[in-house]
Structure 1
Amino acid sequence: MNSNLTMINIPLVEDISNDSGNNLIQNLRSILGVQSVEIKTNNNDISISFDGRFLSLSSLKIGIERAGYTIKSTNLTLNITGMTCGACVNHVETAIRNIPYTLEANVNLATERANIQYIENDSTESSDFIEAISSAGYSAAMPGNYSQEVDRLNKNDELRSIKNRLAVSFLGSMFIFLTSMHFLPWHPITSSIPYLEIYCLIIATIIQFWCGYSFYTSGIRSLIALAPNMNSLIIIGTSVAYGYSVFLTVINTSFFNPSISNMFPPYLFFDTSTMIITLIIMGKYLETIAKVKTSQSIRQLIQLRPTTATLLRNDEQIEVAINEIKINDVILIRPGEIIPIDGTILSGFTSIDESILTGESLPQDKGPDSVVYTGTINFDGSITVVTTKNVDDSLLSQIISLVEHAQGSKAPVQILADKISSVFVPGILAIGFLAFLGWGLFGPSPQWIIASTAFISIIIIACPCALGLATPTAIVTSTGKAAQLGILIKDAETLEQLKHIDTIVFDKTGTLTEGNLEVSSIESTSLHKDKFLKIAASIENHSEHPIAKAIVQHARTKNIVVEDVTDFRNHPGLGVTATQNNKSIIMGNLQFMKSFNLDVPELGTVATRVYLSINDEFVGFLTLTDKIKESAAYTIQTLKNTGKNIILASGDNQQVVEHVAEQLGIQQYYSQITPQEKFSLITDLQSMGRKVLMIGDGINDAPALTQSNISMAIGQGSDISIEASKITLLRPDLMSILDSIKLSEVTSRIIKQNLFWAFFYNLLLIPIAAGALYPVFSIINFNPTNLSFIFGDTGFLNPVMAAFAMAFSSITVISNSLRIKNFNP
């Protein structure tokens, strides 16, 4: 029996039919490593036997999804502490993936979070992942409530702890430095202080083990787990300097024969070990402050949610916790208060500041039946609101979840960087030991002191932290900035790919036009206009299409009450059919009418027409008009100027589509196109090598949106589906499309700069730390005495400068990422 085979039962969301089940089996059996597949129709499970050497559960997931099925899975988010570099990210992800039933594991160094997806089963619990992460040398915990999450992102406790350790470390290291440096003018005085070496030993010990406590706890656990990280490098380097200095200090006491101490070079490294720890703590302090700034956007969103609301019940005003509010409760919102939960205004008139959600600077006038959203600010009047959402289902909660998901996701380039980081630390240790042996055996005198200096410098200067932070800090800052602009980006890969888009396919209604269709006229051959409208609205009342909503709304303004219909059927891109009072009703566009061989007049117009027939007899049509958005022409022209290929694809009639295309300067357009034909258009473009951005309403264009390289939905508030597309624009202003692309380009440029710096820094300074300049200085007969604070007296890099360079590297990467906050479209 093959010991590498794994047997697993995978539950599916959908019911398994015979035909699709055979397709599923074929899909899975075609994957390398799958040995057998069995469908259990009684409980909707599939049993798969596979070779774990060749594939993972994530590969099986892809095969299952290609067959049209979805795995029943659970999503888990954990807060991770103790990570310092990209190697840590790889170690935590490996620990998570080793838990059975794990589908995906994404760990983000910048947000210090792990997003986990695992198959629903009876044996796997969240505690299993927490224990696995702990065994790998890190700590994990479930996220707290919103208030606790704000505290975590503010990092006040962490900053306070670092500041205390930094103060002690700085004062102690400065004392050792100022009393130990031979080139300082007061050295003759300080060298005569009784028991100075003992004082330095005590101070260095406090700094090493109290100030550097966090380095030891993380570094030692990682070493025990055979997964060394940056803290492992720090404790190895500083412990060598500290340990050798302690040894020399002890053997120089009166308890030992002087002949023993004379066997060793009289070089103490207390100043080196303490200054290294001080500089690294200082770098950690500045890095943490910078990380807090990168999370500013998500903290602002979280803090928008009030903790209480004024509930109206039995003519009384009751202040209750926001979590106690239920759907259909009536709440009172006074001027200046924040809207606590999504709802519809019952009474009152006011203006609402929605800028935090949509980026729209002007307040929006609101009255009865207007929708209001959590986190927006009530300006003028008191209003009563009927709640329509639970706290966790509000638009603000959806935005927060989406931003958190995007910030926790990984760009493809980050996956490569994390893999490099995973082998970086062991590689640095190997280089350090080789340099130590090389200079110890063959270097200039004093060989082993110089060898130790080179070893410490290499271990300290290597910075996997910069490599690990290069991409996630840019992604976190960028997605947060996008949210401030009313742009919701689903994941890091979308943000990275957006700049590569060369073709943009626009839907018309609600995208290039205002989408506020209005019935402008009704023409009928045999019915009164009100009767005609009553029949049309009764049928369209069952549809969610913008044209249907416009017809129903027009009927309401006429106080026309709709009637029930039966056998309603929607024909996407064409029209609808139904039965009313035993009469067969057909409504739709000209193409739909002709498919029933109806004699319908062809009227040249730039307006939208909806035709109506009763019992296969044409009875008239409605004319609807829409307005092109003010920002459409500029946006289209700007996109064309940047080399983008623009296409208009609409289900509307040819005259309307042609008119819009002509007004906007779009040469390639398609009219009366069905959702399936839009899907085919996208696939045809992709077969020609095009990178396609599809912009639609997220409902009728679902197949095309799913197929496109990147999908984008434009709308306002809850009128759009955040889950429907990879990018959601909360404002209807088309200028946001340009902002999205510009932000993608800026972010990509920042990531490239960060990665270049991280690689360049290590490639340049590690050889210098290893002593590469010593033979150069020897050949050109250069004495680096004037640069002794950098290279000492021999041309070998001072370990203290190595610590400074390492701290500077991480701060540089984060500071560069923070420049995205200044992005101004």
Structure 2
Amino acid sequence: MKHQYIISGMSCNGCRTKVEKTLNEIEGIHAEVNLNPGEATITMEKHVATEKLQEALSATGNYTIEMKTAENSGENAVKSCCSSKKEHSHHDHSKKASIPHNATGVFYCPMHCEGDKTYDKPGDCPVCGMDLVPQVAISHTQFTCPMHPEVISNEPGDCPICGMDLLPIQASGEENKSYTDLLKKMKIAVLFTLPIFIISMSEMIPNNPLYDIMPIEKWNWVQFLFSIPVLFYAGWMFFVRAYKSIVTWNLNMFTLIGIGTSVAFLFSVVGMFFPDIFPSEFKSHHGTIHLYFEAATVIITLVLLGQLLEAKAHGQTNGAIKELLKLAPTEATLVENGIDKVISIHSIKKGDLLRVKPGEKIPVDGKITTGESHIDESMITGEPIPVDKKAGDSIISGTINGTKSFVMTAEKVGSETMLSQIIQMVNDASRSRAPIQKLADKVAKYFVPTVVLISVLTFIIWAKFGPEPSYVYALINAIAVLIIACPCALGLATPMSVMVGVGKGAQFGILIKNAEALENMNKIDVLITDKTGTITEGKPSVEKVYAVNNDENFLLQNIASLNQHSEHPLAKAVVNFAKAENISVVEVLDFETITGKGVIGTIENKRIALGNKKLMLQVNASISSEIENKVTAEQNLGKTVSYIAIDQNVLGYVTITDAIKENSAQAIKELINQGVEVIMLTGDNANTAKAVAEQLHLSSFKADCLPEDKLKEIECLQAEGKIVAMAGDGINDAPALAKSNIGIAMGTGTDVAIESAKITLVKGDLNGIVKAKNLSHAVMSNIKQNLFFAFIYNTLGVPIAAGILYPVFGILLSPMLAALAMSLSSVSVIVNALRLRNLKL
């Protein structure tokens, strides 16, 4: 049994991990915990009281758990456990990381330092200090930290944990506010840094012409005054972030920047006001101290440039979602009492009749009631060919009508539409963490303290063994080590690629629930696929009804009556066939569905059974050799056959055909070529399954599978160490989809199947699996490239900055060049991730 619970008291990924571990230690349950919203999905072998769950959580922290109900499901369960030192010792939050009832946006850290945590205000990530970036939403604007997705704010501001600028979530005018603010600061920084740089560099010119205007002491005062707006306005946020990172001991890139530039600036100020306290090697031939205002200001300006480029790039990563947002029309034509009336899309209610004119966008999900047309669904499915639609066919919001007008019934409105669900799913997936990111997290945890230690050792070694002025060399090289080692690129490597990749998938109708699914899709060894609705069209039709006594209409009336309330595709096919033959249905008593076998019920005091051979055995119905032979012949042609029994006597059968999708064979061939074993598990009989398997050249299949059989097959494969993907579309596939490493739901299937899956294919065919695997491979390759860029910069940069090349080549790296290299490392990662936008699937 599976239950949903709301958990309060979590605000970071550490909390989430602790809660999940605690729950999983309870015997007989398996728990999966999400941070935002604060929910747990718990699968139990037998019922475990909520009180017992609460007792376990109370023993490990200030967490509460309650069963999710209709009344509390809308509440936000994300409450800060880090709001005080008593509750959570490793953070000291000044604000609760919660989503208010009237929240209009969500911000998160692109590094996902604390998992799925979000903020309701823009600002800085409390762990790494990065700008919080926005999660694109359908309406209203909210703000979050790019380092801490758990912080959400309705207004722009700073992250309560790390002080970074909170960035807007959604695609709106406010999205550019952070970029605009950074651009303004960048202009101020350049305006005052350039004169400082010129003054400083002029010392290299023989007979410096500037000294003819003023003596060096006064030029030093100019540098000091010009550096104040750069450091204390344009770059002040970096010092705030550095301070917060040290106080909370969440050391990050801004720790290194803050320490390095502070040392350079404070050294220069003290040297200007109290020159006599320094030894002679710190003094120039003019008798003044070597000042480093230019190093501090140029570093701040270059880091600001990197932040500016990142802010612009974060807006580009959400480009796919923005395009989806543009698909939603703002108005619709309501047909009321025969009169057309233009209304806002927000005013549409379920059941409304809407007229869609040629060239207009479909306003909401629904079905055509009168008329026909061809619909361009490429923006949702990625398929360029328009689809013909007639009365009774389903249509999707955001798709574009062709050249004919029709009237439709609204079935799903607002957040229920597929377009809204796609946007929400892409948002959630963009904010999730890929397992490969653990590598970057592990490195970053020890990286900053190691760099600080290397910087200290660099100062000591240069001061003791370096050439004169040794202390000057020691100071400059120590600062250069701090600056070049900033791990910004390391943190950006994974989330930037994930954000772009998930958005790209959405453009092709591949909806990815989280980054883990995106990563694991590249590793699959086996694909388990259902037959009906996955390999086949899922639109079965009755070919014929065979009756032993030739009374086919009598049998058809009975089985149509039996199936009139069933949602199964085969049942619908029977009912539709009966309607076409003008056969009326009668009342059925004691109707019962036997999962994986068929249906039974009572009609006019006669017990009717319709289903496969397993059902016939269950109801003790006898099958004659004549019927058995005819059924086998039909099955060998790849057709599905259901026996019809009345009072334990099989009196005939119904033959149902379901065409194989055009691209199923091509997709399966491509997957096999990529080394994926494709296995078909179907509830259909062995003869039909064999015929389909041979037509598709499948190496393996299993027939007569009940839902538990599919589950066991997946468990066996996983026990062999296989990474298993399961593709299905029905309620009976839901357990297998949930159990598999990667559940892939056909978008044309049931909501239960889609909810259980990690990946949903909007178009609902196997070709989407090929595209999903290709996308996964491209994203993982991109992430590895990004990690290489990040590691290579730091691996090579730190030793060079420390001066390892000086004894042999006489090469030193100035703090300014170190800052430029650090910014370039981030830019290289961003540019490389954005290449995924041009990926062709």
Contact 1:635-1:735 at 8 Å conserved across structures: yes
1:750 aligns to 2:782 (yes or no): yes
Query: What is the rounded CA distance, in whole Å, between the counterparts of 1:232 and 1:534 in structure 2?
Result: 78
Query: What is the rounded CA distance, in whole Å, between the counterparts of 2:196 and 2:165 in structure 1?
Result: 38
Aligned to 1:738: 770
Structure 1 residue corresponding to 2:457, chosen from 408, 427, 434: 434
1:508 aligns to 2:531 (yes or no): yes
Alignment of 1:36-185 (within 5 A): 45-46=51-52, 48-50=54-56, 74=76, 86=111, 89-90=113-114, 111=133, 135-138=160-163, 149-151=170-172, 155-182=175-202
Query: What is the rounded CA distance, in whole Å, between the counterparts of 1:235 and 1:742 in structure 2?
Result: 42
Query: What is the rounded CA distance, in whole Å, between the counterparts of 1:573 and 1:47 in structure 2?
Result: 35
The total of aligned residue pairs comes to 745
Tell me: CA distance 1:715–1:532, structure 2 relative to 1, closer, same or farther (3 Å): farther
Shift of 1:648: 1.7
Amino acid corresponding to residue 192 of structure 1 in structure 2: D
Question: What are the Cα deviations for residues 125-149 of structure 1, in whole angstroms up to 9, with x where unaligned?
Answer: 99999999955234798x98xxx71
Aligned to 2:497: 474
Alignment of 1:772-791 (within 5 A): 772-774=804-806, 776-777=807-808, 782=809, 784=810
Shift of 1:802: 0.4
Shift of 1:809: 0.7
1:608 aligns to 2:640 (yes or no): yes
Query: TM-score, length-normalised on structure 1?
Result: 0.81
Tell me, which stretches of 5 or more residues in structure 1 are unaligned?
A: 1-7, 12-22, 31-40, 97-104, 116-124, 254-258, 785-794
Shift of 1:507: 1.4
Shift of 1:588: 0.3
Shift of 1:54: 7.8
Tell me: CA distance 1:748–1:375, structure 2 relative to 1, closer, same or farther (3 Å): same
Structure 1 residue corresponding to 2:814, chosen from 798, 807, 811: 798
Alignment of 1:617-632 (within 5 A): 617-632=649-664
Question: What are the Cα deviations for residues 180-208 of structure 1, in whole angstroms up to 9, with x where unaligned?
Answer: 21476697223333343333322221111
Tell me: CA distance 1:132–1:286, structure 2 relative to 1, closer, same or farther (3 Å): closer
1:190 aligns to 2:210 (yes or no): yes
Alignment of 1:366-445 (within 5 A): 366-445=389-468
Secondary structure of the equivalent of 1:694? strand
Query: What is the rounded CA distance, in whole Å, between the counterparts of 2:187 and 2:440 in structure 1?
Result: 34
Shift of 1:338: 1.9
Query: What is the rounded CA distance, in whole Å, between the counterparts of 2:563 and 2:437 in structure 1?
Result: 49
Alignment of 1:160-559 (within 5 A): 160-182=180-202, 188-194=208-214, 195-250=218-273, 266-526=289-549, 528-559=551-582
Tell me: CA distance 1:80–1:359, structure 2 relative to 1, closer, same or farther (3 Å): closer
Query: What is the rounded CA distance, in whole Å, between the counterparts of 2:446 and 2:610 in structure 1?
Result: 65
Structure 2 residue corresponding to 1:577, chosen from 580, 600, 620: 600
Secondary structure of the equivalent of 2:585? coil
Shift of 1:462: 1.3
Please identify, of 520-529 and 313-322, the stretch whose mean Cα deviation from structure 2 is larger: 313-322
Aligned to 1:568: 591
Tell me: CA distance 1:94–1:510, structure 2 relative to 1, closer, same or farther (3 Å): closer
Query: What is the rounded CA distance, in whole Å, between the counterparts of 2:545 and 2:380 in structure 1?
Result: 39
Structure 2 residue corresponding to 1:764, chosen from 793, 796, 801: 796
Query: What is the rounded CA distance, in whole Å, between the counterparts of 1:425 and 1:71 in structure 2?
Result: 41
Query: What is the rounded CA distance, in whole Å, between the counterparts of 1:342 and 1:474 in structure 2?
Result: 31
Identical-pair percentage: 36
Query: What is the rounded CA distance, in whole Å, between the counterparts of 1:434 and 1:323 in structure 2?
Result: 64
Secondary structure of the equivalent of 2:368? strand
Shift of 1:763: 1.9
1:641 aligns to 2:664 (yes or no): no
Contact 2:57-2:63 at 8 Å conserved across structures: no
Tell me: CA distance 1:286–1:57, structure 2 relative to 1, closer, same or farther (3 Å): same
Tell me: CA distance 1:730–1:689, structure 2 relative to 1, closer, same or farther (3 Å): same
Secondary structure of the equivalent of 1:188? coil
Tell me: CA distance 1:537–1:395, structure 2 relative to 1, closer, same or farther (3 Å): same
Query: What is the rounded CA distance, in whole Å, between the counterparts of 1:440 and 1:234 in structure 2?
Result: 22
Aligned to 1:725: 757
Contact 2:463-2:473 at 8 Å conserved across structures: yes
Question: What are the Cα deviations for residues 599-621 of structure 1, in whole angstroms up to 9, with x where unaligned?
Answer: 32212222211121222222221
Secondary structure of the equivalent of 2:777? helix
Amino acid corresponding to residue 171 of structure 2 in structure 1: V
Query: What is the rounded CA distance, in whole Å, between the counterparts of 1:114 and 1:440 in structure 2?
Result: 52
Shift of 1:564: 3.3
Contact 1:95-1:133 at 8 Å conserved across structures: no
Amino acid corresponding to residue 536 of structure 1 in structure 2: I
Shift of 1:160: 1.6
Amino acid corresponding to residue 236 of structure 2 in structure 1: Y
Contact 2:106-2:151 at 8 Å conserved across structures: no
Amino acid corresponding to residue 46 of structure 1 in structure 2: K
Secondary structure of the equivalent of 2:538? coil
Amino acid corresponding to residue 89 of structure 1 in structure 2: C
Query: TM-score, length-normalised on structure 2?
Result: 0.80
Shift of 1:576: 0.8
Secondary structure of the equivalent of 1:470? helix
Tell me, which stretches of 5 or more residues in structure 2 are unaligned?
A: 9-23, 32-46, 79-97, 100-104, 121-126, 138-149, 277-281
Amino acid corresponding to residue 150 of structure 1 in structure 2: A
Tell me: CA distance 1:406–1:174, structure 2 relative to 1, closer, same or farther (3 Å): same
Contact 1:179-1:191 at 8 Å conserved across structures: no
Contact 1:407-1:492 at 8 Å conserved across structures: yes
Amino acid corresponding to residue 471 of structure 2 in structure 1: W
Query: What is the rounded CA distance, in whole Å, between the counterparts of 1:640 and 1:506 in structure 2?
Result: 13
1:654 aligns to 2:686 (yes or no): yes
